[in-house]
């Protein structure tokens, strides 16, 4: 059928494959390849468990390149959707002003009015209103843990990251502790008074994971540590997480879902 948007879906599927490749690459890397662990104990028995980064530049660079293609394919699927709709609405191939056609994503209504005037001019009013309904400035007021799954917010993040990736490399990927149950091995006669997880945010340089206190500790005693933590991949870009479930994994999943939903809605509008 001439109104099928199969080309856009092929791009979405390509992006989805890149997202899965990123997850597989990350999930198969043992934390000890990325970080070394050490325990530091003061004379009074207070101490901490620390992580120090190893050389993971090649891994993070490879992931960044894959993620760049992920963003490109989704952004291209949205632009291609507008182009295809313009062909159908104008009954012309190529459509009018083909080099100006693009899927606008705007944080202000004034910006949308300016850009929509030429980016989606050949589209029927019905489709222009549909595109406006998913703009970031149209995002509803929702609880933080629900806004994570909102199309408007997701498209805003996708557009911002894709724009940055075109003009410069996105801020370096890193690790974010998802959970930690640190453990230590202590000498006979020494007892653990307390152990608590400390720190949050991306692991940069040398990072403390836990603090503890040992009773009966004397200088020179050997103490071994295991942070026993799960690491999530993270990207140091705005916006910062707004809720516990606002993870990198959920964000890229919602980017795929949002793009697919937009393409399907425009296709079904004919």
State pLDDT tens for residues 184-232.
999 999 999 999 999 767 787 889 999 999 999 999 999 999 999 888 8
Size (the chain), residues? 270
> Taking phi first (over 0 means left), then psi (-120 to 50 degrees means alpha), and beta for anything else, what does residue 42 get?
beta
Tens digit of each residue's pLDDT (9 = 90 or more) over 74-94? 999 999 999 999 999 999 999
Q: Does the pLDDT at position 53 exceed 90?
A: no
Please report the pLDDT score of residue 171 as a whole number. Answer: 61
pLDDT in tens, 161-188: 999 988 876 666 678 888 889 999 999 9
Query: Helices 6-27 and 248-268, interaxial angle, to 10°?
Result: 170
pLDDT one-digit tens code per residue, 114-154: 888 899 999 999 999 999 999 999 999 999 999 999 999 99
Cα 235 to Cα 157: distance, rounded to the nearest angstrom? 12
Cα 185 to Cα 88: distance, rounded to the nearest angstrom? 69
Query: Does 201 or 28 have the greater pLDDT score?
Result: 28
- The Cα–Cα gap between 155 and 139 comes to 10
> How much is the pTM?
0.86
């Amino acid at each position: 059928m001439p109104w099928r948007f199969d080309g856009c879906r092929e791009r979405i599927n390509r992006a989805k494959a890149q997202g899965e490749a990123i997850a597989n690459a990350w999930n198969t890397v043992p934390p000890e390849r990325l970080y070394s662990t050490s325990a530091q104990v003061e004379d009074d028995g207070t101490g901490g468990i620390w992580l120090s980064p190893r050389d993971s530049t090649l891994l993070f660079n490879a992931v960044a390149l894959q993620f760049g293609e992920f963003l490109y394919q989704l952004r291209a699927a949205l632009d291609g959707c507008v182009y295809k709709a313009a062909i159908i609405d104008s009954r012309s191939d190529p459509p009018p002003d083909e080099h100006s056609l693009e899927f606008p994503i705007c944080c202000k209504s004034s910006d949308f009015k300016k850009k929509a005037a030429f980016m989606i001019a050949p589209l029927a009013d019905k489709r222009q209103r549909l595109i406006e309904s998913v703009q970031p400035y149209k995002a509803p007021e929702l609880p933080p843990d629900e806004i994570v799954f909102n199309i408007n917010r997701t498209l805003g993040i996708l557009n911002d990251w894709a724009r940055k990736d075109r003009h410069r490399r996105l801020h370096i990927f890193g690790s974010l502790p998802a959970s930690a149950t640190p453990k230590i091995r202590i000498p006979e006669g020494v007892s653990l008074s307390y152990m608590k997880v400390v720190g949050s945010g991306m692991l940069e340089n040398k990072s403390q994971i836990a603090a503890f206190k040992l009773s009966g500790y004397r200088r020179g005693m050997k103490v071994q540590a295991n942070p026993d933590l799960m690491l999530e991949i993270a990207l140091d870009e705005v916006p910062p997480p707004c809720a516990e479930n606002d993870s990198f994994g959920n964000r890229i999943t919602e980017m795929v879902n949002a793009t697919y939903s937009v393409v399907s809605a425009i296709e079904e509008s004919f």
